[in-house]
Chain A
């Protein structure tokens, strides 16, 4: 069984900052379940100038009681592949879980572009696919749990990004204020 999900949203922050916040997004108060995040590979394509990154993210799973019999380890490893093209101002990220795939595989793609209506904003297109191979009448339950969990997590992920973006904005404001008074101190 497969379920699809699609959503477009925006951040009232410039594309540069949103893509930067993507790298800074862990830890944040809305992602306490993220235990670790590592960079497996990273390179800039010499021809296209695109930055490619592969990261591995470890999340502490929170499962409903009926799910605990299905899954030995409640922790989930997520692989995240991303491409940032600074010339076209496009960032594409793809994530999927590495373990528990028989129970449920969630594949999510996010595309960050400059907002078509406001160049100082960023548009985010999210597409996801949730697949389960379980039988014995479990798929429906697993997948609706998966969809709900995915929606909850999307909301949390968004709040996490917004939190980091606000911090960046405050830092920038503080730096601007500091440089404005710096001549007086010198």
Chain B
């Protein structure tokens, strides 16, 4: 399993990866999408967000993610949701 960009997050990241890999191959691909690794993901993400702030990567990432990489997918599925960013057009 790969390391985290934040050294201190690698342990929790690999724990989460293990959970996800198992869920993906044994549940998700077999039609069961019930979440299984949320607790681990929250812990991992908390650590990661701290790292990204420390490395000043948070704004870089936020800017990059403003471009929707899947415009077709979201226009067909976001009709019922009111996302603030969808009003720009």
Contact = CB atoms under 8 A, between A and B. Distances in A.
Contacts of A158: none
B44 A98 contact: no
B interface, how many residues as a size bin?
20 to 34
Top 7 nearest A-B pairs (CB, nearest first) are A36-B5, A26-B2, A81-B69, A37-B2, A94-B69, A44-B33, A58-B5
Contacts of B28: 44, 51, 84, 86
Given A38-B13, A56-B61, A98-B64, A45 B2 contact: no
Tell me whether chain A's interface is mostly helix, strand or loop, or mixed.
strand
Nearest to A99: B60
A27 B44 CA distance: 19
Q: Which of A34, A38, A81, A99 has the most CB of B within 10 A?
A: A38
B41 A42 contact: yes
Nearest to B63: A98
A38 B5 contact: yes
A175 interface: no
Interface residues of A, number: 37
Interface in B20-72: 20-21, 24-25, 28-29, 31, 33, 35, 41, 44-45, 48, 52, 57, 60-61, 64-65, 69-70
Given A54-B65, A77-B57, A79-B65, A20 B5 contact: no
B3 interface: yes
Nearest to B76: A48
Contacts of A50: 73
Q: Which of A49, A77, A99 has the most CB of B within 10 A?
A: A77
Interface of A: 16, 19-20, 23-24, 26-27, 34-40, 42, 44-45, 47-52, 54, 56, 58, 77, 79, 81, 83-84, 86, 92, 94, 96, 98-99
A23 B61 contact: no
Contacts of B1: 24, 27
Contacts of B4: 36-38
A49 B33 contact: yes
A19 B33 CA distance: 16
Contact of A20 (B29, B45, B57, B69): B29
A83 B60 contact: no
Contacts of B45: 39-40
